[in-house]
Chain A
Amino acid sequence: MNKRSFFVLFLSLVFTGINAQKLMTRNGYIKFFSHAPLEDIKAENNQVSSVIDLSNGTFAFVVPIKGFQFEKALMQEHFNENYLESGAYPNGTFKGNIEEYTKIDMDKDGTYKLKMSGVMRIHGVEKKIVEVVEFTVNGGKLNLFSVFNIKPSDYEIKIPASKQDNIADTLEVTVRMSYAAKK
């Protein structure tokens, strides 16, 4: 076997190895909660898709903005039409890296609090963020849980003065995902 074909073989082995380590979900859950003097608002979405590549610690998720459901239909319409402008920016996305991803051992149950850094893109605006994410391995399955804050103003989402008692400056975001091997 000459060396070139050896490398081709080696690379293809590496790629299959990488592919085998990709975990995915299409029905991840995300919620945001706003606490303001006049009202509390929450919206929930279970259409989040996400991929984790355990071979290199890369991670991404996509949140379809129209998938957020509110208790009031008109609020949902305003969220899409006036604030997130989901016609122009249909998805919120995140891509980043899990630090110390090698700690995650899929072969035994355990919980890992790991730092994740990357770029969040909402409303067409990108922002670098660093958050702590909790990974749980349970019976060979990987779950993700995280609670963090985001500011609409960071993503150029303007809240008119008349709505400042209805919508908080900082929203609490909860993310939960259960991954399965990518087909």
Chain B
Amino acid sequence: MLQKNNRLLKGLSLGLFLFLGFMASGQDDLLAELEADSKPKTSYAFATFKGTRVVNLQSPELPAKGVLQYMILHRFGTFRTNYFYNFLGLHNAQVRLTVDYGITDWLNVGIGQSSFQKMYDGFVKYRLCRQSSGEVNMPVSIVGYSSMFYTAQRTPENRPLNTAQRLSFVNELVIARKFSQNFSAELVPTLVHQNTVDSAAYSNSVFCLGLGARYKITKMHALSVEYVYQINPTKQFFDGTALQDYNNALSVGFDIETGGHVFQLFLTNSRGVSDPLVFTETPGNWLDGDIHFGFNISRVFTIVRPKLPRE
């Protein structure tokens, strides 16, 4: 009888132990069950760069659907000569203004104008794929950018230009990856085509390979760098005499993000501000002190608000 009771007690305590064990682990199990269950099937990278541009190159970012973006771009005069006389280059500023709009999350269209050579332009930027992990694994984001520029500047009467001759085109294919929360980089094969060039000996099409990167130093601040290598550069008259290749553009910048603005401040040897000029018509060289201060400022406005989930 005593033996039997003991056995029963043993059995009961074993059962109770198992039951309590189950109870204690119950909470964790519930959460673990849920976490396993609620993992998003595909997780997309976002905020790979702060702005829609790195400096001159496009970034893989597009304004969201229903968002209007206004940008002011400035490039100042060179550090090389008369820097103080020209008030830190301010007196030789080139200005570009653009407005673009997100028709969908993957399609952005815009117009712009640039002071130098009185250029007017229209552009489209389109996302082809997004970096993601999970069910769909995509190592990079790929974004295309195509623009057409019209040079309205008057030419001498003995050298008239028709409409076609005034056009130039820039195509960029942005292949970007967000490597970590702070570090992102991109490779940008670029084609600049100008319908009119200075000499028949020059190629109308210049192929370039751009490299851009950013590193976030705080949540609101980032350092950026950009280098655009020209594969078949055209020539320039250096100091008005000797012909030599145009330089590759190197830019080093600092991004500041506030609520709806991104301020990008940078130093670059690229003189131009409009896309056809920034990559392929850079006369200056960093080593000669041909450095320009510049900034891009963007502001976004939500025009069409997205539908929110219902309660």
Residues of B within 8 A of A64 (CB): 38, 40
The complex places the Cα of A78 from the Cα of B262 at a distance, in Å, of 12
Number of interface residues of B (CB under 8 A): 42
The answer to the question of B258 belonging to the interface, with a C-beta cut-off of 8 Å to chain A, is yes
A11, B19: Cβ atoms closer than 8 Å: yes
A58 CB contact (under 8 Å) in B26, B47, B64: B26
In whole angstroms, how far apart are the Cα atoms of A64 and B31 in the complex?
13
B308 CB–A CB distance under 8 Å? yes
Contact across chains for A93 and B31 when beta carbons are under 8 A apart: yes
Per the bound structure, the CA–CA distance linking A11 and B67 in Å amounts to 59
Name the residue of chain B whose CB is nearest to the CB of A15.
Answer: B22
Among the 9-residue stretches B108-116, B161-169, B240-248, B299-307, the one with 4 or more Cβ atoms under 8 Å from chain A is B299-307
Number of interface residues of A (CB under 8 A): 54
The reply to whether the CB of B311 lies closer than 8 angstroms to some CB of chain A is: yes
CB < 8 Å: which of A10, A72, A90 contacts B302? A72
Q: Which of B8-16, B119-127, B189-197, B230-238 contacts its partner?
A: B8-16
Query: Is B219 touching A90 in the complex (CB atoms < 8 A)?
Result: no
Residue from A49, A118, A162 within 8 A of B37 (CB atoms): A49
Chain B residues with Cβ below 8 Å from A90 are 40, 43
The chain B residues found within 8 Å of chain A, CB to CB, are: 7-8, 11, 14-15, 18-19, 22-23, 26-28, 30-31, 33-35, 37-38, 40, 43, 46-47, 63-67, 181, 219-220, 258-260, 300, 302, 305-306, 308-311
The answer on a CB contact under 8 Å between A3 and B7 is yes
Q: Is A50 an interface residue (CB 8 A)?
A: yes
Q: Complex: how many Å from CA A82 to CA B258?
A: 11
Q: Which residue of A lies closest to B310 (CB)?
A: A46
Cα distance, A90 to B34, chains bound together (Å)? 13
